[in-house]
A and B are shown apart, each in its own frame.
Chain A
Amino acid sequence: AQSVTQLGSHVSVSEGALVLLRCNYSSSVPPYLFWYVQYPNQGLQLLLKYTTGATLVKGINGFEAEFKKSETSFHLTKPSAHMSDAAEYFCAVSDRTNAGKSTFGDGTTLTVKP
């Protein structure tokens, strides 16, 4: 069985500060990992994904994430927060044993202060 834990349901940063959203996963086989963002009153959209290969993955809007197998982590970072980054962020995992279904974390709400 696969699972995802997002540490911190709410994260607040100042504009221009580093953004760090934490995600740990559990999977019995090599995982596929995703970060999605949800702006108010919208569906989720893909920020970035890790499948195989390079462990540092770059996504849209300046976000990146690093897959660390030894730590079972896939934390999302952005060097400098912008007001427009305020949203809810979801980490998700899938693998070939679970027929393509993604399991989502509970989400982290990012607030950016001026």
Chain B
Amino acid sequence: DVKVTQSSRYLVKRTGEKVFLECVQDMDHENMFWYRQDPGLGLRLIYFSYDVKMKEKGDIPEGYSVSREKKERFSLILESASTNQTSMYLCASSLAGATYNSPLHFGNGTRLTVT
């Protein structure tokens, strides 16, 4: 089974701090994604990556950046955390393919609280 591991289940940070959320997958997937999940809003894509050192903005990239230095690892960075970034963050991975029909494999999420 694919395993996607997010380094922290719960994080509490202060406003203005730089925050790193780490995600590692063990199935050699090319694609990796960061979503945030808020009640009533479903999942919204922040950033995604199709390969090492490649990144693409999703629907809500403002206030975030990402890093993918190794194929298995995709990091989400909050440059200066704000209270409106309090949320559940979900990392996912999938196989690349020309038909784009590969399902996503999710980690268990990181619940971030910014105070």
Binding site for B on A (CB under 8 A): 9, 32, 34, 36, 41-46, 49, 51, 90, 92, 94-96, 98-102, 104-107
- Residue with the greatest number of chain A CB neighbours at <10 A, chosen from B45, B48, B96, B103: B103
Instruction: Say whether A107 contacts B42, CB under 8 Å.
Output: yes
Taking a contact as CB atoms closer than 8 A, the residue among A9, A45, A96, A101 that contacts B106 in the complex is A45
Interchain CB contact (< 8 A) of B108 among A9, A34, A41? A41
Number of B interface residues in the complex (CB < 8 A) = 31
Q: Is the CB of B42 within 8 A of A101?
A: no
Determine whether B101 belongs to the interface, using a CB cutoff of 8 Å to chain A: yes
Instruction: Name A44's contact: one of B41, B50, B106 (CB within 8 Å).
Output: B106
Number of A-B contacts (CB under 8 A): 66
Q: By the criterion CB–CB under 8 Å, are A106 and B40 in contact?
A: yes
Asked, given contacts A41-B108, A46-B103, A49-B101, whether A100 binds B94 with beta carbons under 8 Å apart, the answer is yes
Asked if B107 and A94 make an inter-chain contact with CB atoms under 8 angstroms apart, the answer reads no
Q: Check if B43 sits within 8 Å of A43, measured CB to CB.
A: no
Q: Give Cα distance in the complex from A107 to B90, angstroms.
A: 15
Quick check: is B4 within 8 A (CB to CB) of the other chain?
yes
Chain B nearest CB, measured from A90 CB (Å): 7
> Do A101 and B58 touch across chains, with their CB atoms under 8 A apart?
yes
| Residues of chain A lying within 8 A (CB to CB) of residue B27 | none
Question: Are B43 and A90 in contact, with the CB atoms below 8 A?
Answer: yes
Residues in chain A near residue B44, CB distance under 8 A: 104
Q: Which residues of B contact A90 (CB under 8 A)?
A: 42-43
Q: Which residue of B lies closest to A34 (CB)?
A: B103
Within 8 A of A (CB), among B64-99: 90, 92, 94, 96-99
